[in-house]
Amino acid sequence: MTSFPETLARALRTNPGGPFVTFYDEASGERQELSTTTYANWVAKASGLLVDEHGLERGDSIRIDLPAHWLATVFLGAAWNTGLVVTDSESPDAVVCGPETLETWAEGAGKRPTLACSLLPFGVRFTDPLPQGVHDVGIEVWGQPDGFIPVDPPAADDAATSWSGAETSHAELFGGGGKTARLLSTVPPASPEGAELLAGLLAGGGSLVLIVNATEDRLAAVASSERATQSSDHSS
């Protein structure tokens, strides 16, 4: 039995410099690669943002309403690192969203912490002002430290996800054999399939190539250049 913090610590010991998440956006030309260490730094910053800046606590629920993007993998890690439960609920305790659903979540920004990601290259801020009460991740995350130690870390039997009310514990997500491969996927990480894939790769020492806006030919070309195997659910 294990939890996300323990799994990430093990990955940092065994393969700190190896790639963990490689992101391609074929529409913008962005390519972003996070080694295990860089991923852990981003997770620490996002953890501080959620807990220290916005007061979230172990057991609170969070909706990560982001498309297939490297920041979705970061906020999944931050949620699991701090004992938050990733959910698809329409009434979560906190929300992280992108430009496409910003207006939807802005209406409740006064009731819950609402953080928005521009999804521009390098995780920069929005170019236009955000609605009142919505926090710009591209502004707030950079001031957070590169290290974060949870005061109240999640236990192995704590819920890590809750999809349609069905909970999955940290032990169930991270306690198995994991995935050792380098896999290419287009599945949004903050979905049941995507979260399970990310957790399995972290637990098994594998890595993720996440790609959006690509043709089938381009998917095959990137898989070849990255020496990755196309995940069976890459076109979901």
| Spatial separation of the C-alpha atoms in residues 142 and 188, rounded to whole Å | 24
Q: Work out the widest C-alpha separation in the chain, in whole angstroms.
A: 47
- Residue 108 has a pLDDT of 95
Sheet holding 19-25, edge to edge: 30-35, 19-25, 207-212, 182-185, 229-230
State the CATH architecture for 4-230.
Answer: 3-Layer(aba) Sandwich (3.40)
- Residue 234 has a pLDDT of 47
> How many CA atoms lie within 13 Å of 220's alpha carbon, on the beta-carbon side?
3
- Residue 233 has a pLDDT of 55
First to last CA, the chain: 30
- Residue 231 has a pLDDT of 76
pTM: 0.97
Angle at 137 between CA 100 and CA 139, to 5 degrees: 125
SS3 (DSSP) at 4 = helix
Mean pLDDT by 10 residues, the chain (236 residues): 94 97 96 98 98 97 98 98 98 98 96 97 95 97 94 96 98 93 97 98 97 97 96 52
| Spatial separation of the C-alpha atoms in residues 92 and 136, rounded to whole Å | 19
* 41, 71 contact by CB (below 8 A): no
Of 197, 206, 162, nearest to 72 (Cα)?
A: 197
- Residue 177 has a pLDDT of 81
pLDDT digits (tens, 9 = 90+) for 208-221: 999 999 999 999 99
| Spatial separation of the C-alpha atoms in residues 48 and 26, rounded to whole Å | 31
